[in-house]
Amino acid sequence: MAHPGIRGEVWQLQPYGHGAAPPADAIRLHANENPLGPSPLAVEAIVKAAADSNRYPDAGCSKLRSALAKMHEIDENCIVVGNGSDELIHLLGLLFLQPGVSAIAADPSFVRYYAAPPLAGATLHRTPLDVDLKHDLDSMAECFDHATRLVFVANPNNPTGTLVGADDLETLLDRLPDPALLVLDEAYFEYVGAPYSRGLDWVREGRNAMVLRTFSKAYGLAGLRIGVGFARPDIIDAINRAREPFNVGSIAQAAALAALQDQEHLAKTRTLNDEGLRTFHAFCAAYGLRHTDSHANFAFIDLGKDARPIAQAIAHKGVLVRAGLGLDNWIRVNTGLPEQNQAFLDALKEHLE
């Protein structure tokens, strides 16, 4: 029996996780990780920073924020660093949501958007993707009213990898009610080949927009949990008042700062990902499988039948992928090393022939 003091909204949520820890020798193509691992410069910084683990970290992530401000030509007061982007999404829920107001997110999209509203007793509007599995921004705008407070757009989207253009997003932003905030989650920003986002421009202009980025994906630091938010100073000030002190560890800060300096590693990551997507999409063409136009570090593939038992069967062969992400016939597989990609395709073939 649940403790009677726990708020009822909590039981609407599902614990986040991938089940039991996978075997050490499993091929991990299920978590959208960087198969190259962290930059060697980041690893070196991790080892060095570990020696000072008896000291509390810089509570304001000042060095990292300074480096990000210089890189993006934006004021440091427009930057906050979190324990992953997940923490920043949670904090936005604390700041903006309460009973009687609402948030909007696409379906399917990143599951953490769905957790913030019920925790705050707020309403969540989930709008279906369009026929190309992109955000249907018109449908999202149709949900706008005086109660709207947060609008989440993952761009590229997870799990589909699809992208919406800056002009369409600006139209959405123009229609946004004054009390609301457009949250642009750009976790896969570094994988998109051409400039596509004007989110930071909108932040510089002081508009009601926030951009989320992460070091978990292209920078290969998922295990250290470090995300970044860009917004106008009053929003950042509010987040800093609500967040935990020392929310980002010193090792994570040092690793992220070093990772920013290694653009060669980032370029190798992009190249490997592009090759992996081409391999997956060529396989889809050969077998007549539909796939999205993914701009992230994963392919999203329609198997034409329930993908969940196939994902389980592939896992028994030591290759981990994801299914059951809101579209039952679709499977999400992140790009790995060439031999890992081939192991997945070899295992998948058995269920297509």
Q: Can you give the pLDDT at residue 14? A: 83
Of 314, 320, 285, nearest to 301 by C-alpha is 285
Domains located in the chain, CATH noted: 8-37+264-349 (3.90.1150.10), 40-261 (3.40.640.10)
259/44 Cα distance (integer angstroms):
10
- C-alpha 111, offset from chain centre: 10
The secondary structure of 119-148 as a DSSP string is HHT-EEEEEEP-TTSS--HHHHHHT-STTE
Q: Can you give the pLDDT at residue 191? A: 98
* Both structure tokens of 104: 């909007």
Whether residue 194 has pLDDT greater than 60: yes
250/49 Cα distance (integer angstroms):
7
The total of other beta-carbon atoms located within 10 Å of residue 204's CB is: 16
Whether residue 19 has pLDDT greater than 60: no
Q: Can you give the pLDDT at residue 20? A: 65
The string over 227-257, giving b where at least 16 C-beta atoms fall within 10 Å of a residue's C-beta and e elsewhere, is bbbbbbeebbebbeeebeeebbbbbbbbbbb
DSSP H or E segment with residue 218: none
343/138 Cα distance (integer angstroms):
40
Question: Strand pairing partners for 80?
Answer: 229
Q: Can you give the pLDDT at residue 18? A: 53
Question: Strand pairing partners for 332?
Answer: 300, 322
Choose the weakest-confidence range: 2-16, 161-175, 285-299.
Answer: 2-16
pLDDT bracket for residue 181 (50, 70, 90): very high
Percent pLDDT > 70 in the chain is: 99
Cβ 151 vs Cβ 104: under 8 Å: yes
Segment 118-171, tens digit of pLDDT: 999 999 999 999 999 999 999 999 999 999 999 999 999 999 999 999 999 999
Strands annotated E in 54-134:
79-82, 102-107, 123-128
Q: What is the pTM of this model?
A: 0.96
Question: Strand pairing partners for 330?
Answer: 302
pLDDT bracket for residue 75 (50, 70, 90): very high
Task: Tell the residue number behind the tokens 């391999």, with chain if given.
Answer: 279
The secondary structure of 161-181 as a DSSP string is -----HHHHHHHHHHS-TT-E
Q: What is the mean pLDDT of residues 296-316?
A: 97
Of 39, 21, 4, nearest to 263 by C-alpha is 39
Cβ 47 vs Cβ 59: under 8 Å: no
Report whether the peptide linkage leading into residue 338 is cis, meaning its omega lies within 30 degrees of zero: no
The pLDDT mean for the chain works out to 96
* Both structure tokens of 145: 């009213």
